[in-house]
Structure 1
Amino acid sequence: MFKSIVLPVALLGAAACAVADEGQWQPHQLPQLTSELKRIGITMPAAKLADLTRHPMSAIVSLGGCSASFVSPDGLVVTNHHCAYGAIQRNSTPEKNYIINGFLAKTRVEELPGGPNTLVYVTEKVENVTDRVLKGLSPSMSGRERHELVESRIKTLVAECETDKSIRCSVPAFHRGLEYYRIKQLMIRDVRLVYAPSDRIGNFGGDIDNYEWPRQTGDYSFLRAYVGPDGRPADPSPNNVPYKSKDFLVVSAEGLKNGDPILLAGYPGRTSRYKLPSEIRFARDVDFPAKAASITADLSVIAAATQGNPAWDVRYASVAKSLNNVLKKTQGLMDGFARKDIAAIKDVQDAEFRAWHKQNGNGSRNLLGELDSVIAQDMAQSRQEAAWAEATHSDLLKSARTLYRLALERQKPDAQREAGYQERDLSFIKARLTRLEQSFVASVDEARYGAALARYARIDAKARPQGLDALLPAPNALGAMVKASELGDTAKRLAWIGKDPEAFRKSNDPFVQLAVRLHDTGMALENRRNELEGNLERVIPQYMTAVIAWKKSQGKPVYPDANSTLRVTYGTVAPYSPRDGLVKGPFTTVEGIVEKTTTRDPFIVPAALTEAVKQKRYGVFKDAALGTVPVNFLSSADTTGGNSGSAVMNKRGELVGLNFDSTYESITKDWYFDSAITRAIHVDIRYMLWVMKEVDHADNLLKEMTIKYPKK
């Protein structure tokens, strides 16, 4: 077998000859990027950026799916409009539609509850715990035995770290099991909506402009973190006070110009830069087309089922928005793979690596054969899991399955329960089950599930989980099942928490009965996945150790794939050429908004904005070179999903923008970083400040932030 010895830790930080602006770097790696940062003009010391307890990294926070940053000492958080969309929707009704009209709290008392799913995570500590996770693992273990032992050790590490309910810890894998880091975060659970512009600003262009350039979207919102009177996180209460953030970002209205350097800090979700050519072809030819077809069909069902009912439309607004975003990205990936044969590029790289490995593999001759075998098994398993997802595509059924699994897991000691069903997870389960009341209509769920079962029936029988067909309800039975179920009622849904498994087995609720009936098949699927994961976690780290050594021998950058942990990337404000004879960017302006405006969504603009543009009330936010207010700008920074809301900082670490999207041509960057066309899209902070002053009159927030204005 290939021996990693001391290679992983040493090489994961190696980037002496990094090229382009590629890389989503762990903060502790940044000192080894000093020459790169200086090259593009960053003046902040790299060592300072590596310290999570110092400015500016101590101001960067996670929202559990999006990124954000503190911008005042009183817990004021700025993020994207679409990241706060759930909180905006939660507080909206047809009569008080904050989605269309926007919302501004002029005083702290007026701030609205974000809801149980709106949380702020402040990263306090990151430590390498690889030895404690991997030490002494026997090569004779089955994949499932290995996976379960690793998971058990991770749960122990988490339990040691979580000293109270204010602390949330995790132990994610880097390079899929090559290294493990324990991450300690302060979890603030009273988060309130402070200000969101109308979605005719925050989502201008809607799904039509999503991933497109030029773009003119004011994708920003403000939240505030609250804690108990003692300064510690607490459950929502009128007695809570604003969190005194240790640090916050200074907002710079001085602006940027083409070629200026930027830093970007946030929590990117998932990338697949080290996938094999076979995995790319599977995604391109099988997984993504099926995913796009399923989401397209689901969106059509939602649209038809909610048509003509404004209240239902509001309830499913966030669901549809999320699905549309995933769909646009999936379609962009397919188009990107069609435009550039990334699999063929990877074929060349893979052949070069295998030739190098043949000479430098140190006895690991069977490694690549094992790798190819387990990857093939992984792809076959993924097809069955996709079929299972269609067969169980109902919010009522998902709730029933979660509740029954919780009842079963609670029969075990807490340390032996499946991750996600321990006592530490109970508040999150309750929050998900409660949140359903804002995004659920029984007849819509019935329509969605019926359509999903029809899609499942068209899947090749070989790709369906064995024995599942006979357990599923007939589509024409769904109406009676939905009518007879009490799980649509929030109080009755939550009342199932704490009941024992026997109560579920004796239940007359048809969706509870279905959940019980499906459980063994679902567990068989999960157990096969755990066996596979254990084998992947055994083989992939050996592969990655060899890949890292190969890349280092070429002087190429080495960084782990994104995994929702804090990362820093860098780049410059830059245009790009999507095709021959066309150059785009790097700025758009408020005049572009007026030019795009129509009388139909998503290109309707608030009259106050149009009036401010016509009167050219630009003030200090006017860019000297552009002669107007910039709205969005492009940079070459390396980003992905989860980077939404990430702070875009200038060379001094001051906030100059918010990341919110990528160009359509960039979507394949999750798999392959092409520096010529990869561009991230950011809200220019001057546009945000201008709207706050001239359109929404958010003077209270402008006074609260520390804003650095241009010198006269």
Structure 2
Amino acid sequence: MLKHLILPVALLGATAAQADEGQWQPHQLLQLKGELKRVGIAIPAEKLADLAKHPMSAIVSLGGCSASFVSDAGLVVTNHHCGYGAIQRNSTAEHNYITDGFLAKTRAEELPGGPNTLVYVTDKVENVSARVLKGLDNKMSGIERHEAVERSIKALIAECETDKMYRCSVPSFHRGLEYYRIRQMMIRDVRLVYAPSDKIGNYGGDVDNYEWPRHTGDYSFLRAYVGKDGRPADPSPDNVPYKSKDFLVVSAAGLKNGDPVLLAGYPGRTSRYKLPSEIRYARDSAYPAKVAELQADLDVIAASTQGSAADAVRYASVAKGLHNVMKKTRGLLDGFARKDIAAVKDVQDAEFRAWYAKQPRAPQALLAELDAVIAADIALSNEEFGWSVATNSDLLKSARTVYRLALENGKPDAERESGFQQRDLTFIKARLNRLEQSYVGAVDRARFGAGLQRYAKLAPAMHVQGLDALLPAADAVPALYQSSQLGDTARRLGWVGQDAAAIAAAPDAFLQLAVKLHGVAMSLEERRKEVDGQLERVIPQYMQAVIGWKESQGKPVYPDANSTLRVTYGTVAPYSPRDGISKGPFTTVEGIVEKHTGKEPFVAPAALIEAVKAKRYGLFKDPVLGTVPVNFLTSADTTGGNSGSAVMNGHGELIGLNFDSTYESITKDWYFDRDITRAIHLDIRYMLWVMKEVDHADNLLKEMSIKYPKK
């Protein structure tokens, strides 16, 4: 009904972008040739749009982080915090690679990354919107519509995965207006090659997280292995390094203020097109509740692991992830307080609705329907938050997983819920196995008991329908753990593949609790499908109208981030966070020494401090700064998931790794403010300098193709 309002979706992005805003699908770059040329990107847009050509063929996903190949032998560079799971997995109190760092001098010394460390190589993207949306009827209920879409998606995935070397997905773009099928080669034998000490890789810790100036060497190296036939294979000593078709040349020439950058990776989620009511819900309710919950959970973990180095190592990755989410969420709240984004969106929304009212063929009932489905979504989100607080136990999650898997196994594979099909079995086992490295019974017991106490105090709107009467009392939690064997990895995995009746009859306390809670969980899930189905009916119509409105103003149109491959660009740039303060775009190794106190998190390795004081800068000395740069700022448009993204110069050479944003930039997930939005990157010269002068990773320096500056 809205097709007369806008340009065809295939032409989205044809208008000139403003500032450096935009997380573009590669194919959209063909319409941005002028912008790329303006910024100073010399690579033809045709090459950037082609996933089979350099440099895009070297960009990979780690399933939550981004990375890139830097040799033809499957060597992958990413952030230290992206390799943290593999580092922590191989660490013990006696051999703590988190604090000591790790370097494999030979390939035989490389360590297994574990079943959750994967490399995804995207090789094909195709628009399948017509097939997903075919046959949908506005008379359908929300759940009928949602399940029809899911059936189409599962069929498209099954068709794509006939060759088992590929993992396929069909994410939506523009909140359900378009669907693309994405094919990725999934490499599942990935090994840890090198990671500096966290005194380098996480220098400044949570204190400096999202802050500028920053002095963090946030990098690590992995290697992808495949079978001798070149196809992905289960981990085996017989596997060989993956022969990556393309890899990035590393440039030690560096950058200066104003230079262009091109950034490619897999940004997670943004909310640029959400309504003012959704912003206010996040600002006034969802985020404050999230911050309180995260802090409470972190306090329990800290108290429960205190005095035990082994327990602290086991929960290091969990705590690090929670701290990162906490800092970002607090940054969002501070950003909302600093600039009333909801008020900005109010103005935009009023302008849009006025424009929309003048469109002769536009169904005017749409906006009222939109407001209603958003309200329903918010109400259900409150209950879903309550569920997460009440069920904060790894053993309970494991029990629920094996029981749900058993129930789904009783159906034909195509009719099983997404996430519980045969294709998902490896991932389910990996999640259950992961507790081997990140579970302590006493800690999980404390988290669950405290979560139940917090749930009891939540507002009534956050209590899940039918749940309260089924939950154990907090003082009954210790007995549950005493009557469960799911803490043992072999027993936990042993329930995979068992039938539902056997699980329901098991004397294990957590399996019994999972069975008891299943009906409420399914009710919550079905209500979510109903709401999502209504959102999938209304939101795409709204988005199509918004696109038409934005196109009429010549404004950029790109989809919200959804963990798919995107390209952004910008320039090295300083910024002013507030009146009278200007922050430059580079930090240097001298700043590390200045911050060094000898107390966490500002403890720099002695070898690094000595090298700085001796001014052993070599080829990595910046001619303008007179020293080695550590981190730098650009105006590139990034978000979570872009961690580890390749930052390239105008010729496609690797000159940095994205790892963070400034604190003032965190609200860019909702609103891009070109004056203060800055991404923080590791300068590749610092990485190379540490590898040479501190960690002596000469074998890797030799393996990479490095372009050094002319003398």
Query: 462-471 vs 696-705, which deviates more?
Result: 462-471
Show the counterpart of 1:206. Answer: 205
Matched, 1:9 2:9: yes
What is the CA distance between 1:2 and its match in structure 2?
3.3
What is the CA distance between 1:328 and its match in structure 2?
0.1
Matched, 1:326 2:322: no
Does the 8 A contact of 2:13 with 2:556 survive in 1?
no
Show the counterpart of 1:406. Answer: 405
2:393 counterpart letter in structure 1: S
- Alpha-carbon distance in structure 2 between the residues aligned to 1:6 and 1:257: 41
Show the counterpart of 1:34. Answer: 33
Show the counterpart of 2:629. Answer: 630
Does the 8 A contact of 2:5 with 2:545 survive in 1?
no
Does the 8 A contact of 1:637 with 1:680 survive in 2?
yes
Show the counterpart of 2:387. Answer: 388
- Alpha-carbon distance in structure 1 between the residues aligned to 2:308 and 2:108: 32
1:310 counterpart letter in structure 2: A
Map of 1:486-505 to 2, 5 A cutoff? 486-505=485-504
Show the counterpart of 1:63. Answer: 62
Query: 161-170 vs 290-299, which deviates more?
Result: 161-170
- Alpha-carbon distance in structure 2 between the residues aligned to 1:128 and 1:17: 23
How many equivalent pairs are there?
711
- Alpha-carbon distance in structure 1 between the residues aligned to 2:392 and 2:495: 21
- Alpha-carbon distance in structure 1 between the residues aligned to 2:172 and 2:513: 35
Q: Deviations over 1:127-148 (max 9, x none)?
A: 0000000012111100100000
- Alpha-carbon distance in structure 2 between the residues aligned to 1:4 and 1:522: 42
Show the counterpart of 1:18. Answer: 17
What is the CA distance between 1:4 and its match in structure 2?
6.8
2:102 counterpart letter in structure 1: F
What is the CA distance between 1:5 and its match in structure 2?
9.0
2:535 counterpart letter in structure 1: L
Show the counterpart of 2:477. Answer: 478
Structure 1 residue matching 2:175: 3-state secondary structure: coil
Structure 2: runs of 5 or more not aligned: none
Show the counterpart of 2:708. Answer: 709
Matched, 1:259 2:226: no
Map of 1:207-606 to 2, 5 A cutoff? 207-360=206-359, 362-606=361-605
Q: Which runs of 4+ in 1 moved over 3 A?
A: 1-8
2:241 counterpart letter in structure 1: P
Cα pair distance change 1:4/1:691, threshold 3 Å? farther
Does the 8 A contact of 2:6 with 2:551 survive in 1?
no
Does the 8 A contact of 2:13 with 2:32 survive in 1?
no
2:188 counterpart letter in structure 1: R
Does the 8 A contact of 1:551 with 1:558 survive in 2?
yes
What is the CA distance between 1:8 and its match in structure 2?
4.8
Does the 8 A contact of 2:4 with 2:361 survive in 1?
no
1:639 counterpart letter in structure 2: T
Show the counterpart of 1:154. Answer: 153
Does the 8 A contact of 2:485 with 2:508 survive in 1?
yes
Show the counterpart of 2:132. Answer: 133
What is the CA distance between 1:680 and its match in structure 2?
0.2
Q: Deviations over 1:594-635 (max 9, x none)?
A: 000011111001111001001000000000000000000000
Matched, 1:645 2:675: no
Show the counterpart of 1:700. Answer: 699
- Alpha-carbon distance in structure 2 between the residues aligned to 1:164 and 1:387: 41
What is the CA distance between 1:164 and its match in structure 2?
3.1
Q: Deviations over 1:222-269 (max 9, x none)?
A: 000000011111000000000000000000000000000000000000
- Alpha-carbon distance in structure 1 between the residues aligned to 2:76 and 2:619: 23
What is the CA distance between 1:11 and its match in structure 2?
4.1
What is the CA distance between 1:7 and its match in structure 2?
4.3
Show the counterpart of 2:174. Answer: 175
Q: Deviations over 1:260-286 (max 9, x none)?
A: 000000000000000000000000000
Does the 8 A contact of 1:11 with 1:558 survive in 2?
no
Does the 8 A contact of 2:99 with 2:197 survive in 1?
yes
Does the 8 A contact of 1:268 with 1:639 survive in 2?
yes
Structure 2 length normalisation: TM-score? 0.99
What is the CA distance between 1:6 and its match in structure 2?
8.2
Does the 8 A contact of 2:356 with 2:362 survive in 1?
no
1:126 counterpart letter in structure 2: V
Structure 1 residue matching 2:358: 3-state secondary structure: helix
Instruction: Please tell me the root mean square deviation across aligned C-alpha atoms, in Å.
Output: 0.9
- Alpha-carbon distance in structure 2 between the residues aligned to 1:27 and 1:335: 33
Q: Deviations over 1:398-438 (max 9, x none)?
A: 00001100000000000000000000000000000000110
2:690 counterpart letter in structure 1: V
Does the 8 A contact of 1:112 with 1:192 survive in 2?
yes
Does the 8 A contact of 2:261 with 2:569 survive in 1?
yes
Does the 8 A contact of 1:371 with 1:540 survive in 2?
yes
1:13 counterpart letter in structure 2: G
- Alpha-carbon distance in structure 2 between the residues aligned to 1:233 and 1:698: 28
Q: Deviations over 1:71-109 (max 9, x none)?
A: 000000000000000000000001100000000000000
- Alpha-carbon distance in structure 2 between the residues aligned to 1:294 and 1:653: 43
2:134 counterpart letter in structure 1: K
Does the 8 A contact of 1:8 with 1:178 survive in 2?
no
1:308 counterpart letter in structure 2: G
Show the counterpart of 1:53. Answer: 52
- Alpha-carbon distance in structure 2 between the residues aligned to 1:706 and 1:257: 22
- Alpha-carbon distance in structure 2 between the residues aligned to 1:607 and 1:148: 59
Structure 1: runs of 5 or more not aligned: none
Does the 8 A contact of 1:12 with 1:560 survive in 2?
no
Show the counterpart of 2:660. Answer: 661
2:536 counterpart letter in structure 1: E
- Alpha-carbon distance in structure 1 between the residues aligned to 2:465 and 2:31: 51
- Alpha-carbon distance in structure 1 between the residues aligned to 2:2 and 2:9: 16
Q: Deviations over 1:514-559 (max 9, x none)?
A: 1000001010000000001010001000000000000000000000
Query: 163-172 vs 392-401, which deviates more?
Result: 163-172
- Alpha-carbon distance in structure 2 between the residues aligned to 1:363 and 1:587: 50
What is the CA distance between 1:363 and its match in structure 2?
3.3
- Alpha-carbon distance in structure 1 between the residues aligned to 2:522 and 2:258: 53
Structure 2 residue matching 1:48: 3-state secondary structure: helix
Structure 2 residue matching 1:219: 3-state secondary structure: coil
- Alpha-carbon distance in structure 2 between the residues aligned to 1:198 and 1:129: 45
Matched, 1:110 2:109: yes
Does the 8 A contact of 1:228 with 1:240 survive in 2?
yes
- Alpha-carbon distance in structure 2 between the residues aligned to 1:491 and 1:351: 58
2:2 counterpart letter in structure 1: F
Show the counterpart of 2:677. Answer: 678
- Alpha-carbon distance in structure 1 between the residues aligned to 2:439 and 2:519: 27
1:246 counterpart letter in structure 2: K
Does the 8 A contact of 1:215 with 1:632 survive in 2?
yes
Structure 2 residue matching 1:151: 3-state secondary structure: helix
- Alpha-carbon distance in structure 2 between the residues aligned to 1:619 and 1:38: 33
Matched, 1:187 2:178: no
Structure 2 residue matching 1:176: 3-state secondary structure: helix
- Alpha-carbon distance in structure 2 between the residues aligned to 1:389 and 1:361: 45
Does the 8 A contact of 1:253 with 1:621 survive in 2?
yes
What is the CA distance between 1:585 and its match in structure 2?
1.8
Query: 318-327 vs 16-25, which deviates more?
Result: 16-25
What is the CA distance between 1:391 and its match in structure 2?
1.0
- Alpha-carbon distance in structure 2 between the residues aligned to 1:463 and 1:301: 22
Does the 8 A contact of 1:55 with 1:247 survive in 2?
yes
- Alpha-carbon distance in structure 1 between the residues aligned to 2:362 and 2:236: 62
- Alpha-carbon distance in structure 2 between the residues aligned to 1:218 and 1:597: 14
